[in-house]
Structure 1
Amino acid sequence: MPTENASGADPARAAEEDDRLAALIGELSHLSTEQADTSRGDLDLLPTLDLVRAMNAEDRRIPEAVAAQAENIAAAVDGITERFRRGGRLVYLGAGTAGRVGVLDASECPPTFGTDPDMVVGLIAGGETAIRNAVENAEDDDRAAAESLRALHLGADDTVVGISASGRTPYVLGGLAYAHEVGALTVAIAANAGSAIGAAADVPIEVVVGPEFVTGSTRLKAGTAQKLVVNMLSTLSMIRLGKTYRGVMVDLRATNEKLRARSVRTLIQLSGASQEDAVRALAEADGSVKLALLLLFTDASAETAAPALAAADGILRDAIAALS
């Protein structure tokens, strides 16, 4: 039986913890996001305007790093869209900033694209509390994400996107492993090349942004890169689903005065109709901008246009062609 030292610690356990710490330090030392840029050692001495310019110069690197992953991002969009068409969902997984990025993107899809709140889901290590408060140890729980995905009844028609700046977060790795088991499409967004989550995913998106402006603060360049990528994943898949027409959001429903005004303006802008005709079409379409546009473009009745739009899988261009 192991004995305790004077401090009350188990020597064997302490040695094991020291070994784990040393291994983690070694692992982190190889990550580009954890490196220090020695050229910025005088940041605290710079005038504020110089700080602004220096940070902005670093941020300009991010779009180029995202562009380098264009092919993988496109593959992810196509995979997500295919599964959306089968009734599947998009689920984001992450801890800390990465988790909040996913939650933010998921929460903005219903008001932007008129989607069901269950269509795009954001899961964060530590649960709802972690959205506003740090729950740092939650990211080390490699079983929590699997439990949450199991509760969602994750299946083969779903897509799980794991987000981690380091690319090694246990919470995300556990979730991706479970998603793979049930046959879901898996996508990884990391800020380091050769990441563990990239190796665990069907589609790795490794946006290498390099050392952070403040060393190790991955809410900066890595977080911005994550936001740019999830913007693409959700927005482009929604475009593929026909949620836009001529670059304008058309899956809106006029549920309040502001949205009604925006809807009428959209109808006038896209169809050239008068305000009176736009208001009439919107009322006939029960507030659906897309259906109202179809009425304006084809002079069909709502009873005829609604089934045509459904038959076209919600693609307005195809419905217009079918009724023309």
Structure 2
Amino acid sequence: MRTTETLTGRRVTMADVASVAGVSKITVSRALGGSELVKAEVRTRICETAAAMGYRMNLAARDLRLRQRKRIAVVVDMPATNDRPFYDPYPLALLGGIMQECAAAGFAIVLTTSDPRMGAEAQDASGIIVLGQGVDHHAVRSLTSLNLPLAVWGADDGVEATMGAEVVGSDNRLGGQLAARHLIARDRRRFVFLGDTHHAEIADRAAGFAQGLAAGAQIVAQRGCDFTREGGRKAMADIVHEGVAFDGVFAGSDLVAIGAMQAMTDAGFRPGVDIAVVGYDDIPAAAAHTPRLTTIHQDLTGAGRLLAATLLSRLDPERFHAPRTRSLPVTLVARET
């Protein structure tokens, strides 16, 4: 029987582990893969032996043997800025749901961004999950050349379907309608919409908002802006400077709404009193802000799990069943604004 000392100076192989553990290579392979074909006590002994010997699985060899990589690339389509940090619920809550689903299925996650300098990170994967479609779907367009299964968080307007991608999202049109109904119920009639409608999700939220308006209500101003507080602040400051008369605001995200409220406060308005405001996402900052922001809630952790389940069903339809839906429900959370 081999000992670990005889292996000094070279990489430990699966055959070495099998020899020390007194089992076959296939048993070691199954045990390290968590297969229930190997008794629990034998799996434990093999895993402990492999760890003690410093064995590292050759992922390339495993993938070749299984004819499938066990890695999923998650591409976050947003720049790294202090005004919209990666540790916000978007994308962090989405990532948590993705990792929960993938880990249970035995897939590892490779996390990267849509920065072209990091594009190679997504190539060595079984499939790709894209968090954000980008302006005019640019993120998805840039990744389709890899010819890998794609699942995208966003809004289904048919563009991704032509590229073979699956789109998972919340019911953005309903979210817009809920915002409109809430503002009208507060006796508001002249509205501002803030958000870049070049993004499919924001376009759907704006369309739903317009559809939800009652007779006599109208959108008096609409401005595109970044998904940041500063973007919302600048857009609202411009509207106030132009002298637009309005009594309600629907913002495409909570960060934009919070920035807009800052501009209104600076101009002498009282958000929630003079002007009613509704955001979108229901991030913690919405509840922590003063006044507390009314917003549209979407289950981002559940969305992450649905994204992963959708992609896994593309990778292995026999093992993973396709989810019945690609759209998550939304609800309005009424607070002080």
Higher helix share: 1
- TM-score interval (norm. to shorter): 0.3 to 0.5
TM-score normalised to structure 2 length: 0.35
